[in-house]
Amino acid sequence: MTEPLIFEHSRAGRYARAQAPNVRAELDLPPSLLRKSAPNLPEVSELQAVRHYTRLSQLNFSIDTHFYPLGSCTMKYNPRACNKLAMLPGLVDRHPLAPASHSQGFLQCMFELQEMLKSVTGMKAVSLTPMAGAQGELAGVLMIRAYHHARGDHHRNEILVPDAAHGTNPATATMCGMSVVELPTDADGDVDIAALEKAVGPNTAGIMLTNPSTVGVFERKIERIAKIVHAAGGLLYYDGANLNAILGKVRPGDMGFDVIHMNLHKIFARGRGGRGPGSGAVGVGERLKPFMPIPVVAQEEGKYRWLDERDLPQSIGRLSAFMGNAGVLLRAYVYMRMLGHDGMKRVAEFATLNANYLAARLKAAGFQLAYPGRRASHEFIITLKRLARDRGVTAMDVAKALLDYGYHAPTTYFPLLVPECLLIEPTETESKEALDGFIDAMCDIMERAVRDTEQLKGAPYTLPVRRLDDVRAARKLDVAWRPDSAA
Amino acid sequence: MTEPLIFEHSRAGRYARAQAPNVRAELDLPPSLLRKSAPNLPEVSELQAVRHYTRLSQLNFSIDTHFYPLGSCTMKYNPRACNKLAMLPGLVDRHPLAPASHSQGFLQCMFELQEMLKSVTGMKAVSLTPMAGAQGELAGVLMIRAYHHARGDHHRNEILVPDAAHGTNPATATMCGMSVVELPTDADGDVDIAALEKAVGPNTAGIMLTNPSTVGVFERKIERIAKIVHAAGGLLYYDGANLNAILGKVRPGDMGFDVIHMNLHKIFARGRGGRGPGSGAVGVGERLKPFMPIPVVAQEEGKYRWLDERDLPQSIGRLSAFMGNAGVLLRAYVYMRMLGHDGMKRVAEFATLNANYLAARLKAAGFQLAYPGRRASHEFIITLKRLARDRGVTAMDVAKALLDYGYHAPTTYFPLLVPECLLIEPTETESKEALDGFIDAMCDIMERAVRDTEQLKGAPYTLPVRRLDDVRAARKLDVAWRPDSAA
Amino acid sequence: MAFIPHTQGDISEMLAAIGAASINELFDEIPESLRVDDLPGIPEAIGEMEITRLMQARAAQDRGALCFIGAGAYEHHVPAAVWEITTRGEYYSAYTPYQAEASQGTLQLIYEYQSMMASLTGLDVSNASLYDGASAVAEAALMAVRANRRSKSRRILVPRTLSPVYTRVTSAIAGTQGISFERVDFDVATGTTPLAALSEWEGEDITALVIPQPGFLGCLEDVDALTDWAHAHGALVIAVVNPLSLALLRPPGEWGQAGADIACGEGQPLGVPLSSGGPYFGFMTTRMAHVRQMPGRIVGRTEDLDGKPGFTLTLQAREQHIRRSKATSNICTNQGLMVTAATIYMSLLGAEGLARVAAASHANTRQLADALCTVPGVDRAFATPCFHETVLKLDRPVAPVLKGLAEHDILGGFDLSADYPELGHAMLVCATETKTAEDIASYGRALSTVLKQLKVA
Amino acid sequence: MAFIPHTQGDISEMLAAIGAASINELFDEIPESLRVDDLPGIPEAIGEMEITRLMQARAAQDRGALCFIGAGAYEHHVPAAVWEITTRGEYYSAYTPYQAEASQGTLQLIYEYQSMMASLTGLDVSNASLYDGASAVAEAALMAVRANRRSKSRRILVPRTLSPVYTRVTSAIAGTQGISFERVDFDVATGTTPLAALSEWEGEDITALVIPQPGFLGCLEDVDALTDWAHAHGALVIAVVNPLSLALLRPPGEWGQAGADIACGEGQPLGVPLSSGGPYFGFMTTRMAHVRQMPGRIVGRTEDLDGKPGFTLTLQAREQHIRRSKATSNICTNQGLMVTAATIYMSLLGAEGLARVAAASHANTRQLADALCTVPGVDRAFATPCFHETVLKLDRPVAPVLKGLAEHDILGGFDLSADYPELGHAMLVCATETKTAEDIASYGRALSTVLKQLKVA
Ligand SMILES: Cc1ncc(COP(=O)(O)O)c(C=O)c1O
Ligand SMILES: Cc1ncc(COP(=O)(O)O)c(C=O)c1O
């Protein structure tokens, strides 16, 4: 099945008439301000729009239809209740600037969410406003910067980042006007301590770490690292994308981190709509409290209200027009309440069980683990470098082949330091049967890679399209349909 | 894509824990009353259930994904608002026995719906309770029976039904203890008047007609028919499944009908969920008013209340435990308000335009219309008897072939009097492009039927399954999965 | 033109292809004398925005009461997943799966549903739904008459413990085919049907006996004795059951020596919202021996041309579209969407989840009765075991008490005095798993306030 | 274990395969000293039924006010179809389309979205969304610095008519990279940015000029003059626009002689509910010449191995996952679901529907202002043409008036006195197409009541 562009369904003069006022009101505007020709929006009936976008939806893999072990992305089940309850009338139609008198229900949820996140992370205060992990990182590094500036340490402008780190870490440091110092990862997947000791110094603003790290192992020397960085006057930033793996087992605050972001859209599952929205709530230790991004909810005599620049004059400020992705936060709140404290611990336990099981079984089947001596956290890496060398079959080939089995591919080519890698994260909500099916598919692919290499490299065969030409996409850039580009 | 049975996903001990109380309360019941072993229900997680039923849904054709010209079924667009508004809290959670003090919002909708249906049909009163067309028919024939009985005419036990009638008509007559007298259809698709004149008599209870009829033409002699039946002491029943075709153009009440049912789930579009629910509201003329099924909503001094057996002592009684398919009725109410009077007329106009266009184009392309001399109403019939004779390609073969083009097949082999027929109803919500695409597919199929008959007869090829063995289904009856039947 | 996609250009081209000058010309076969040109009773069209606001206002009028009414419709928690999936366009906007290859999703789902209902009721085969519980009893009665070839009497015994409205609906629907529905009395002391009440028909030709479990008064019947009595008299047994209760109670297929022959009832408790009384769905299961007498659609598993398993409608020769006046029933459109919801609901809950919901409802109703019986003037009517409904007796007429409670936004129960005058001032109450201890306590408080006020008045 | 499917048997088998004695053992690399074993601040788990009731109660607390606040978030009718489709599992539970072949639905939708936004703004290319309108302006500023190679100054002019909160967000996000944001004053008589206000920078090296249309005070700017001034000074033009207004107003691509260079803003008016402020989405479009400086994802149309058209993420070398510290932005997760909703919204409404919504909002705001200005003590602040927001001046402080209105369940507007003290007692009001004549009249009545009461007090 393929589906034409919505523009190809267009005929002049059509639209969903029940959805707009039945007359066009007169304008009290000078003609010079008005547009001369109508924009090229689709002209379709309500049925045509519904049918088109329903059909398009079916051309997607998703959690609700497929196992989706995309490493670092924590593609777990999003309880339907989270969506439904966040969209209740009263919540979904509340104006962001409604006065406190008309906001107590919402504010109470946000306050309790802040409190729960504090307790999960061991941090001292939480601001919910960042709108994704990367914006949480931005908030965090800006706070680190503000902290040093407040102490007159204007020269502290270096952020240490392990080479395995997610791309948002170095990109964020740059956005905050910092320079990035890359740290090597040792053969076991831990930070190279000697290199770290060499790297720290008077210009060190801080370090950005995720633990468990993006190579899927727990950084065992975390206390040592904290000591080294703190001793050098730097602060520790925790990239909470992987917090899922350690919920209720160990807390970033206890590891020595000064600031943390949490990808609530991963950990506290919520619909990500093909690429967001997210939430990157930040937690801080005592030192960074004055610098938190605003607004933050406070409770005073049983009433809730927003704290703003008047309450937090040293704040790094606002990162969004209102208070961030409220709807995502409501979904996280609902999910956390449904998990409860025991449920949260189980998230970590079963995410870890699933990852270690999958790793053990794949290893037994002949796949090469990137860090075979280590426990997997909630995710792990296999490297296909032997297959690539011997057969010319790459990680990308295996990823595409998996699609034909009805499995979304794991993350490919990240982290960059492991050649031909697949970063696999099954998550706790998948059953053993789902994992076993995936293992069978991997073994079958491996066998086909040897038996019929060329056939395998042509995968996928059963999807709406075969392998797409990315080079052509970038070279013959076609990023918008125009009436004159119609066939 | 195929999907295992939900039972094949089962593992002992699993269920969606967030959906049930977290303990099993103790029972105060004697053990002799309790079941000894648990029923074989699926044991799956919430994700597994969601994934399974989401995947199953994708194995369906539907209005929201496909053109669906199923004659007599009026498969038109169901505005999403109808569903959303019928499921508003306050409506979706209202107990059917809630007192009038807590029901005024709902009752007002129902009252206004009754009034609108009166005006659309020209009838004098409306009862909303029948739960589908067939139950509306039952109500209608029971009222006819009650009317005759009330007059002491206990011998009137014959119901006249044209041979083209929908199966529910004769089946209903039987269910009401009537005997069925079949009337032939003439070559133009009208009722054979001579045969009618012969058929009526002192035992005639009434006649069941649909107009436009199930052969897709308007019964031109309807006034004559009404006169003949009424003169014989019989009453006229209108099967309102085809009311869509004449909304705002002509009213059953004006044609002389004494009672009518309306398939609200077709005319006033609402989701039919793969086979229902429906609604078969009935309208009556003055004579049958006392016999209407209860309950009916009345307005008294600005308040609404249910009329019951005390108000309508001659009522044929209740046909459901409460008041019928309230949710379907709410959807119809919303839809009618969105159409308004002009919109209703347009329903008939464009349903008729689409049918006549499709008929004209197919005829021009060489297809044989069953009633070529007639205007199509909202639907029309083509017969493939020549193709069946010359090539052995049946209406069923063409129907199956259409599926491969992404079109649901028209109704096949109904009405029975037209050999190898397809009853085609495009509905007013389909665009000219959709019709043109269908015409192209039909022409292509016709060409293939000649060029490559066997290949065509093997269709469909692109669906989740190929043609299914219905004979085997009936012979080796497998209508329920059991643990011991597992592969 | 809301929902109509035609452009002016389309209309002209289409009329040209037809050879008509105007759309109106297409109606030229309708006699002039009958034509209308306006629909005076229909208001102007309003947009989705306006109707949304209107419906929100209407809905708000009826909101917010705490409901302890059962009497055939039960408030249960419905998981969000149920209706989010059920209303997916592919389920919501499809129709009867006449083209099986294009409807495998719906057909497989019905097959799964049939399997679940068969197992829940302990019988072999289920149909794909009937309209509702009441009409299902009528269909079961008609089916029993067809299925019980040995009985010639067309007499069906209907206990007074069957819901009075079910009894009325059964007569209305099935009453014109020469069947005599005969009422079996109940024991005012136990709220159940004693075997002794059947002595009147001892030794007669009885076609079928209806056995409700639980009875309308909430009490659990001695289904074994009743079933065996019926079978001993050559009568079929029609079990009328609450499907949720079957998570706990012995299924009809295991009643007595031989089990009930037909089970039917209201499917609403399985994931269908209260929704003012409908759409719900009637279910029906039976033994394989009677499958050809079943009304309604049935889905079977079969194979395709390549031998691959698939699903299709089967045994259609029973149905109106084939058999016409000789069909087992006139039913055509059924309550499919509700079956979709129920199937998802049962899959989510499983046997254990269903048992917990049932047990919590049972326990809550007990607690409710305990709490209310501490109010002076309120008493239990029966000591018989019950599922999740029970009868309370008041020391004064029920109607004004319920009215008083409604003013406190509490819908206190169902007034039994019209249907069961011999019980005096009796009302039926129900507390499902949705009711908290605090809800029950508020009912208790409101009841004692109301009773005090009424005394004063 | 809610949401966890493992049976006891599964757990044992899995541990055996791993070679671990217990799940806890899997955490043995975590230093003992750091382990916790409890989460004291987290309450017990509650079921979906309980959380549903809780959230309904919370939602009910905040319901029912009539809202005339705009100030960056606008209440519009959102067709039911938008969110029923957007929340379909296949959209809702997917992630970034890294595997293009398995995400053609999402990718094609984004391509369609990009096409719509490009046309709406009159520019060539759109990204796939940024976080929100405010942060989009920050990204646009950073982009302008990269794109304007001729300018060395890193000076960006920001009019006071840009939303004050957008200005603050822009500084917070983009303020650490040596960019100087310089404020351009506005004319208190017209509520707009006069050309004269730019004279201060005459002849200087300016990197970019931000032009909001409409301005935060609702008034429409002379975008042609401002654009031409900027281009004459070698500065790029960053248009900050309400996308709904572009159904009526001249698009940024056609401003002045050469058109704006970057357009961005808040996408919320296009089918996204108010939802307490988010998730919304920021949009951004630009000329093809600057595409490599754009932040965010971009989808392109290409071909597959068989030459069939298909869609994929393109120009990824701009992004953080490839370019790391040299990326155009750190953005990774964006607001995709909102883009899905907006794309469906725009498809339903089309150009004509959008124009009607925009025109109705414009007309309603005029009527609102007319109605309120009949109340003594209330006056229009400006005579300048506006889109759908306007400033009213009161004869006394705004805050207590708004508070009084809130007691009548009317959210009367946005108090401007903190951000624009020179306007006196000024508030910004907005009436979109959702407001009826009766709504406007009730506001008028409530306002006169409140003003009378406050006088008395
Ligand atoms: C390890 C890690 N850090 C940071 C991020 C960035 O988070 P977001 O995509 O929410 O901006 C991600 C997201 O993929 C991640 O996996
Ligand atoms: C002409 C006609 N009459 C009656 C009916 C029966 O209506 P229902 O299916 O709602 O019972 C139908 C339904 O298909 C029909 O097409």
Q: Which atom number of ligand 1 is nearest to the Cα of residue A136?
A: 11
Q: Which atom number of ligand 2 is nearest to the Cα of residue B263?
A: 10
Which residues does residue A34 pair with via DSSP β-bridges, in sequence order? D249
pLDDT in the model for residue C97: 93
For D352-371, how does the pLDDT look when each residue is reduced to its tens digit (9 = 90+)? 999 999 999 999 999 999 99
Q: Which amino acid is at B110?
A: M
CA distance A297 to C226: 65
Judge if C373 and C295 occupy the same domain. Answer: no
The residue that leads in pLDDT, D40 or C266, is C266
Average confidence score pLDDT of chain B = 96
The answer to whether position D131 is within a domain reads yes
SS3 B57: helix
The answer to whether position C42 is within a domain reads no
- Token representation of residue A66: 């497929």
Judge if D225 and D357 occupy the same domain. Answer: no
Instruction: Report, as ranges of residue numbers, the positions in chain A whose pLDDT lies below 50.
Output: 487
Question: Sorting pLDDT into bands at 50, 70 and 90, what band is C456?
Answer: low
Judge if D93 and D223 occupy the same domain. Answer: yes
Nearest CA to ligand 2 atom 8: B133
SS3 D177: coil
Judge if C341 and C418 occupy the same domain. Answer: no
Domain count for chain C: 2
Judge if C210 and C173 occupy the same domain. Answer: yes
- Token representation of residue D164: 């004050």
Question: Sorting pLDDT into bands at 50, 70 and 90, what band is C155?
Answer: very high
Residue of D nearest to C75 (CA): D49
Distance set, CA B199 to CA A198, B225, B461 (Å): 107, 12, 49
Does the pLDDT value for residue B49 go beyond 60? yes
Does the pLDDT value for residue C177 go beyond 70? yes
Does the pLDDT value for residue C457 go beyond 60? no
Determine contact: A74 vs chain D, CB below 8 A. Answer: no
Q: What CATH code is carried by the domain that includes residue D242?
A: 3.40.640.10
Nearest to C166 by CA among C186, C143, C193, C138: C138
SS3 B259: strand
Does the pLDDT value for residue C454 go beyond 70? yes
Return the exposure string of A455-473: e unless at least 16 CB atoms fall within 10 Å of the residue's CB, then b: ebbebbeebbbbbbbeebb
Q: Stretch C94-118: mean pLDDT, rounded?
A: 97
Judge if C217 and C355 occupy the same domain. Answer: no
Q: Which amino acid is at C318?
A: R
Determine contact: C56 vs chain D, CB below 8 A. Answer: no
pLDDT in the model for residue D246: 98
Chain-centroid distance of CA A299 in Å reads 30
Above 0.85 for ipTM, yes or no?
yes
- Token representation of residue C119: 């197992």
The answer to whether position C236 is within a domain reads yes
Judge if C367 and C282 occupy the same domain. Answer: no
- Beta-sheet strands, E only, within B77-216: 125-127, 158-162, 179-183, 204-209
For A253-266, how does the pLDDT look when each residue is reduced to its tens digit (9 = 90+)? 999 999 999 999 99
Which residues does residue D378 pair with via DSSP β-bridges, in sequence order? D394
Q: Which of C316, C346, C376 is the last residue of a domain?
A: C346
- Among B1, B47, B433, the strongest candidate for a mutation testing the A interface, having the largest count of A CBs within 10 A, is B47
Q: What is the DSSP string of D418-439?
A: TT-GGG-SEEEEE--TT--HHH
DSSP class of residue B26 equals: P
Chain-centroid distance of CA A18 in Å reads 38
Using an 8 Å Cβ cutoff, are A417 and A164 in contact?
Answer: yes
- Among D55, D216, D266, D284, the strongest candidate for a mutation testing the A interface, having the largest count of A CBs within 10 A, is D55
Q: Stretch B322-343: mean pLDDT, rounded?
A: 97
- CA C143 to ligand 2 center in whole angstroms: 22
Distance set, CA B76 to CA A6, A52, A207 (Å): 20, 15, 60
Of C49, C77, C84, the CB nearest to D434: C49
Q: Are strands A296-300 and A280-284 parallel, antiparallel or unpaired?
A: unpaired
Q: Stretch B163-185: mean pLDDT, rounded?
A: 96
| Ligand 2 near B162 CB (within 6 A) | no
Question: Sorting pLDDT into bands at 50, 70 and 90, what band is B487?
Answer: very low
pLDDT in the model for residue B2: 83
The residues of chain B that CATH labels 3.40.640.10 are: 82-339
Q: Which of D293, D324, D346 is the last residue of a domain?
A: D346
Q: Which amino acid is at D436?
A: T
> Closest-lying ligand to the alpha carbon of A243?
1
The residues of chain B that CATH labels 3.90.1150.10 are: 346-472
Cis peptide before C214 (omega within 30 of 0): yes
The residue that leads in pLDDT, D69 or D2, is D69
Question: Sorting pLDDT into bands at 50, 70 and 90, what band is D192?
Answer: very high
SS3 D394: strand
Judge if D122 and D233 occupy the same domain. Answer: yes
pLDDT in the model for residue A487: 45
Question: Taken in order A449, A451, A456, A461, is the CA torsion positive or negative?
Answer: negative
Q: What CATH code is carried by the domain that includes residue C447?
A: 3.90.1150.10
* C37, burial (CB in 10 Å: exposed 0-12, middle 13-18, buried 19+): exposed
Does the pLDDT value for residue B486 go beyond 60? no
User: Which one is the CATH code of B82-339: 3.40.640.10, 3.30.1330.40, 3.30.470.20, 3.40.50.720?
Assistant: 3.40.640.10
The answer to whether position C37 is within a domain reads no
From B168, B260, B265, mutation site for ligand 2 pocket: most ligand atoms within 8 A of C-beta: B168
Judge if C333 and C382 occupy the same domain. Answer: no
Q: Stretch D273-285: mean pLDDT, rounded?
A: 97
pLDDT in the model for residue A484: 79
Q: Stretch D11-18: mean pLDDT, rounded?
A: 98
Judge if C123 and C239 occupy the same domain. Answer: yes
The answer to whether position C48 is within a domain reads no
- Token representation of residue C1: 């033109």
DSSP class of residue B384 equals: -
Chain-centroid distance of CA D327 in Å reads 23
Judge if C329 and C386 occupy the same domain. Answer: no
The answer to whether position D418 is within a domain reads yes
The answer to whether position C5 is within a domain reads no
Using an 8 Å Cβ cutoff, are A433 and D14 in contact?
Answer: no
CA distance C266 to C263: 11
| Ligand 2 near B129 CB (within 6 A) | no
- Chains touching C (at least 3 CB pairs under 8 A) are A, B, D
For D115-126, how does the pLDDT look when each residue is reduced to its tens digit (9 = 90+)? 999 999 999 999
Of A18, A48, A84, the CB nearest to C47: A18
Judge if D361 and D324 occupy the same domain. Answer: no
Q: Which amino acid is at A215?
A: V
Give me the CATH topology for the region A346-472. Aspartate Aminotransferase, domain 1 (3.90.1150)
For D178-190, how does the pLDDT look when each residue is reduced to its tens digit (9 = 90+)? 999 999 999 999 9
Q: What angle do CA D158, D159, D160 make, to 5 degrees?
A: 120
Does the pLDDT value for residue C153 go beyond 90? yes
DSSP class of residue D66 equals: E
Nearest to C63 by CA among A101, D457, D378, B104: B104
Cβ neighbours of B16 in D, within 8 Å? 2
Phi, psi of A185 (to 5 degrees): -100, 140
Q: Stretch B110-127: mean pLDDT, rounded?
A: 98
> Closest-lying ligand to the alpha carbon of B261?
2
Determine contact: B20 vs chain A, CB below 8 A. Answer: no
The answer to whether position D14 is within a domain reads no
Residue D444: other Cβ atoms inside 10 A: 18
Per the structure, the complete domain to which residue C363 belongs is given by 66-73+350-453
